[in-house]
Amino acid sequence: MGSYNCTCKEGYYGDGNMYRLALTCKEIFDRNVSIKSGEVTLDLDSKPISIFCYVGDCGDGGWTLIMKINGNKSTFHYNSQFWSNRSAYNLPGGKTGFDLQETMLPTYWNTPFSKICLGMKIGHQLRFIVINRHANSLFSLIADGKYRATSLGRNTWKWLIGSRASLQRNCNKEGFNAVGDSLRHSKARIGIMANEQNHCGSCDSRIGFGTGGRFDDSNTCGNEATHSLDNGDKHIKAMGYILRTFHYDSQFWSNRNAYNFAGGKTGFDSQETKLPTYWSTPFSKICLGMKIGHQLGFIVINRHANSLYSLIADGKYRATSLGRNTWKSLVGPQASLQLNCSKEGFNAVGDSPIFSKARIGITANQQNDCSSCNSRIGFGTGGLYDDSNTCGNEATHSPDNGNKHIKAMGYILVHNTENIFQHRSFFKMRLLFAIYFIVNVLALLVVLVRARQQSCTTNHCGEISKDIKTLHTEVKNLIALVKDALRSKLKGTFPDNIYRCFFQCCYFSSVLNALRFSNRIVIFLTVYPFSSCKEQYDLGKSRRSQIYRLMFGSQKIPVFCHMENFGCGGNKKLKAETFHYDSHFWSNRNVYHLTGGKTGFDSQETKLPTY
């Protein structure tokens, strides 16, 4: 038997049957294809577009370029139409890195994110800062002109410029569409503005991107400052760079793509990940964990399903009956919910999708209906009042323990208490081993007969004849076992004799001595990896919480298995923070950050094929 290896064209990814371009720089980075900054080709607006991917000072890896702004030019002035439409500008400029070419890419309007990386280049100095913000796109934060605050602080913004940075001491209005009462004064599409007076009506200083206003309206990116400043008058024009990374509204909830396999190995940390377990692993229990500070709490849902994907992806509501107190125990004594509605389960959403909703969790209302819920506890959440809170406890309007805005790191694991020998995949695996074993025994028979015939004497020929008969009996018995297995498949159970044979002879790295006929000829049965942490626990030699290589389809993926009584134990599915209620991760079969599935109970997010 031979083997083959399918290699995709450079820049494409696939499984041997289908292939595609990467959608983001983050995807390229997490697939470990490239760990250097440089030009890549992405699928943007269903078109292959070459852009510059950055790996560096913003932390994490694989930042996708959105814009480059030259502060000496008016292309991206605050009043430019580019901020409010969906027109690309100078696509070739998206491939050239941190130079002086301006560009606006389709990533401005079509790419969701959870972080934005902002860079300014002044001379040979290049500095970056990061804004943690969930959004459907940068367009969705800016195009409507509404002010959306950030909380980096004036010193962080000044760090972009360096030691020369200067701002007035008051106002300090920062964020997206930062503009005061007077449009002729300082303003910024992304940035901070300040005033020497105790209001924001006449700001004369700013640091930001897409800027305008007094005193130099032509300075569209950098630091402009006059009138009673903390570091003197400044008129510094910079080259600005805006990049983004992955976020909640991606296709991950509705597809089967993995993300960051490494995050699946790190336990209960802060890494994001989505593993193939999201769509490929059946279960009878789900373990839900929330980490708030150093507090880590778990609850269990007893639920049979083919996968977590099958419960969530179609958007249909499926009820649970844990009770509000159980859900509140995830958060601890700080937990708060309104007193009515208490709609819990999968895809828990009321009559209006603008209010609280949860992919897994509970929503509540102060009124005697579920139409306008203002509180929730859960995973993959969204809606009023803080739509950016995607995992944790959000509660306003007469909740039972005061208003709460608690964001948590979420962990979702699964467990199967059924007999694994009843699973079709297990049956197929053992059946293949049995057939493989029979073939090897027959091949060995031929070898032995030839070897003994060459040296047969009168004294040994009778022994050889007896040995051949014994082998013949063994082969007949094995064939009978396979036939029994085929009959058992229809009933969904395995007889004890098949259990013993498959378990003792076929599962582990067994070495057989060719049925006593030769101490030189051996049969090595290939190890077939476990497909779940439950199998590892039941049949494996180790029951420690650690990384195990599990089989998902044709892939071996390292996954952190939580084995102890602490928490719930079981396969990790996803760690939820990036997974807003409206994210496509819930309805697709794409994995997310597979490496996060290996890291235990940390802050890395992940979605595994077990979903």
The pLDDT tens digits of the residues spanning 2-21 come to 545 555 555 555 545 555 67
Rounded to an integer, the average pLDDT of 66-87 is: 94
Q: Can you give the pLDDT at residue 504? A: 41
State percent of the chain over pLDDT 70.
58
Residue 577, CA distances (Å) to 353, 451, 477, 560, 581 in order:
19, 65, 54, 18, 10
Q: Can you give the pLDDT at residue 346? A: 92
Pairing mode of beta strands 103-104, 63-70: antiparallel
Q: Can you give the pLDDT at residue 494? A: 42
| Phi and psi angles of residue 81, each rounded to the nearest 5 degrees, phi first | -70, -15
The tens digit of pLDDT for each residue in 252-305 reads: 555 665 655 556 666 666 666 667 777 777 888 888 888 888 888 888 898 888
Rounded to an integer, the average pLDDT of 169-195 is: 93
Min mean pLDDT across 152-156, 320-324, 438-442 is at: 438-442
Mean pLDDT score across all residues of the chain: 74
Asked whether residue 458 carries a pLDDT value surpassing 90, the answer given is: no
Q: What gap in Å lies between CA 64 and CA 29, rounded to an integer?
A: 11
Three-class SS of residue 81?
A: helix
The tens digit of pLDDT for each residue in 383-425 reads: 877 777 788 999 999 999 999 999 888 888 876 655 444 444 4
Rounded to an integer, the average pLDDT of 137-155 is: 94
Q: What gap in Å lies between CA 160 and CA 8, rounded to an integer?
A: 40
Place of tokens 């999201």: 278
**Strand-pair partners of 104:** 67, 89
Asked whether residue 503 carries a pLDDT value surpassing 80, the answer given is: no
Asked whether residue 166 carries a pLDDT value surpassing 90, the answer given is: yes
Rounded to an integer, the average pLDDT of 418-444 is: 53
Q: Can you give the pLDDT at residue 280? A: 73
**Strand-pair partners of 291:** 296, 409
Q: What gap in Å lies between CA 376 and CA 404, rounded to an integer?
A: 10
Q: Which residues contact 515 (CB under 8 A, 6 or more apart)?
A: 441, 444, 470, 471, 474
| Higher-pLDDT residue of 502, 195 | 195
Q: Can you give the pLDDT at residue 433? A: 56
Identify which of 373, 408, 198 has the alpha carbon closest to the alpha carbon of residue 298. 408
Report the range out of 74-78, 116-120, 348-352, 541-545 with the highest average pLDDT: 74-78
| H-state helical runs in 300-405 | 308-312, 324-331
209 in Cβ contact with 242 (< 8 Å)? yes
Identify which of 598, 606, 611 has the alpha carbon closest to the alpha carbon of residue 265. 598
pTM for the full predicted model: 0.47
Q: What gap in Å lies between CA 13 and CA 7, rounded to an integer?
A: 9
**Strand-pair partners of 415:** 285
Q: Can you give the pLDDT at residue 540? A: 61
Rounded to an integer, the average pLDDT of 58-75 is: 78
Which pLDDT band holds residue 490 (cuts at 50, 70, 90)? very low
CA torsion 263-267-272-275 (nearest 10°) is 60
| Higher-pLDDT residue of 11, 210 | 210
* Token pair for 209: 């991107």
Asked whether residue 569 carries a pLDDT value surpassing 60, the answer given is: no
What's the distance, Cα to Cα, between the start and end of the chain in Å?
34
